[in-house]
Structure 1
């Protein structure tokens, strides 16, 4: 039996002629074709007379339009296939016109499909090229071709074909129902794609919000920990100061008690009765004496200042507050020279600090040095010790707030 079609050995598609095989090869790069006795289907829709060349195409038509009735006219259109390759033009025996000189023209495409593609926003050149290379099959085939070739450099150039190829039979266009169905599907795809992108962006924004929230919580936790440690250190210093004050009061009471017994002619307490505190002191006497720290020197200096001026508590408190201001300014702005320099002849400084015994000594413990013949107190930048300044601030704060500070 003579062949009635050409079958692509790569994808199995059935083609009616050599021209269709050439177009198929150009579109798909398939090159393995063989003659087949299986005819190309011709299923004609009884409702709109659209021909379908395969069961898949008829199913797609039914899905788009709802038309279910088809008439099989394959036997009427099946014809023996000619394997002769069509020539692009006639050549004369005496050096006639060659293929290179053939006139190139814009191929004819389905006008209705072209208008529909242009209404969808595609340029005329791109729409014409898509319809030509998709064989004017359908609007969906043209859109699919554009999606697959949108990165092709010449996609927006008008295609040209030899003049002999211009007169091709126009394939039937889509019905209005099919066109609306395709447009609806394309819009639905675009909507879904936009929704997916919005969801992705929302997930990214939520992740960023969570990350920033965690960072803020961590920073707040660290700040609270530092504040808690500072308060614990202040409370410990206050308790130590209170303990020392109570111990001195107890010792003073013991001395007063012994003095009263002596005045009353009573015998002294039995020396064999050793109190725990005495034992501890005796034990401590055998321990090596360690030098006083800067903190202890500051505390002793402030205690002496309060003892020397205990008759004027308001002036002493004002001196402590002034010293706390000097120390705090340097600790917060160590690079500012104006906070590290104090002129001793300044009337305000003399009234608040300089005239009180122990005020200048406290600043010298903090690192200040006398320069310009003893007229100026100056703290060099390279000698600024933030730890020492913080300790000084703690001691001054305790001296201001602790009612037992410097009682004895």
Structure 2
């Protein structure tokens, strides 16, 4: 079977023609080529028309562009390899009008072969086809082809195929030309690859931007859902606080011996807690205590809210201050006769750090404490102890400590 390609024995590269083999040899320095019956692949991309000569090139093209459909046109492009040595002139495409002539060979080796008894026609064929530079190579070719039917026929080849031997300068120039051609081809390939890489970078960049946009949209939706849940939780907390206030109000009225409040119409739900003095029944025995307690509780709550809002970024410190104030109020409520619970040194560094720096002195003053003339102590006189105010203070402090929405409502 006729050879359809030349294969480099050093690197395995498949080449279509002798010219490609020469160019490959000039660039790589490889010189071991054999004739192969396997045609060089010609796989053409159906998307962009790029031809690929091997499966490796197909894989690289698919990886760079994503194209996966290829048409196999190997059979259409496969042609027998025309060799400058080792092939017969009858296998070449010869123009009938072209002049045929005997090839020029090494005369000295020709004479030696004839002296050894080989016919002149056989010797000329061996020297022409083997390109041997010594007697041994020519003899080896004769031995390998001695059974060829035309081995003793006179060899005539087209005149155009007899290229004159290149001088060293011409060979060097030819080599430089091949190297330059290979360099330009490599540069063009690198530019093409760079363009493809740039397109890939642009595509990846667009995909990243789209992914980022989707992530931002998802984050916005999550934040909206979170805020909606917060508002619903805040609404429930408000309702719970309102119910607790109603229960406390009813409990205070019960302790004071007042009748339960009648349900208010919807349009009067936001009316003040205490009725005007002129609207109070004449037979109430303690008409002043309820408005007073409610007003004091409101002042205490307002003071705690002010402390919480003034120190939004110091939740732990504010909570510690409220706990300290609750300890002061609780001690007095349990033992109002103990003077040590009713006297606080304002200049104490611990008191200043926990309470004074946050504005807690005002809360203690609302509970009945007074600053002495020296400015060193806060005193609560025994006759000024109001258990109702202390209980209201304790309740407001508990709410401020446990309610996560205290100060933000």
TM-score when scaled to structure 1?
A: 0.37
